[in-house]
Amino acid sequence: MNRLFGTKRSGNASAELDDKVFDSSEASLNSTIKDLSLKLHNIENQVSVNTKQYKQNPKNAYLKKKLLNLLKQKQTISNQLMQYENSLMNIQQQKLSNLNVKTNLSIVNNMQQQVKQFKQFNKNNSKLLN
């Protein structure tokens, strides 16, 4: 039957895979933000060089539009990164709460077993005393 259905997988592998997916997504967003920051810096340098000849150079209007578009892109990606980090934090909190529930369940089960053992012990002692 194991050949058909396989064996039970451990839950740790999926948790590690989730962490890797989140890390790679966060890294890609951070790299995109760095690229946009570099482009913004380059365009700002071009605009600052061309400010002396602003009225003579129509290229500045184009550069300013491009700069504004890149700023908007950077802002939206920064917002996405912030939302992503918030959702990641929520997921981690959910995992922690699930772990706490499992711990509490195991504690309650152990307490119930101890109560059964105490009852059995009292039953045996009452038979010995009578």
In a domain, 28, yes or no: yes
In a domain, 19, yes or no: yes
Nearest to 40 by CA among 5, 72, 12, 10: 72
In a domain, 64, yes or no: yes
Domain that holds residue 31: 14-104
Rounded to whole angstroms, how far apart are CA atoms 26 and 24?
5
In a domain, 7, yes or no: no
In a domain, 46, yes or no: yes
The number of folded domains in the chain is 1
Rounded to whole angstroms, how far apart are CA atoms 111 and 105?
10
Phi and psi at 75, nearest 5°, equal: -65, -45
Nearest to 50 by CA among 38, 64, 32: 64
Give the global pTM. 0.54
Residue with tokens 């309650």, as numbered in its chain: 108
In a domain, 34, yes or no: yes
Give the model confidence (pLDDT) of 43-95 as tens digits. Answer: 777 766 666 665 566 777 787 788 888 888 888 888 888 888 888 889 889 99
User: Percent of the chain having pLDDT more than 90?
Assistant: 21
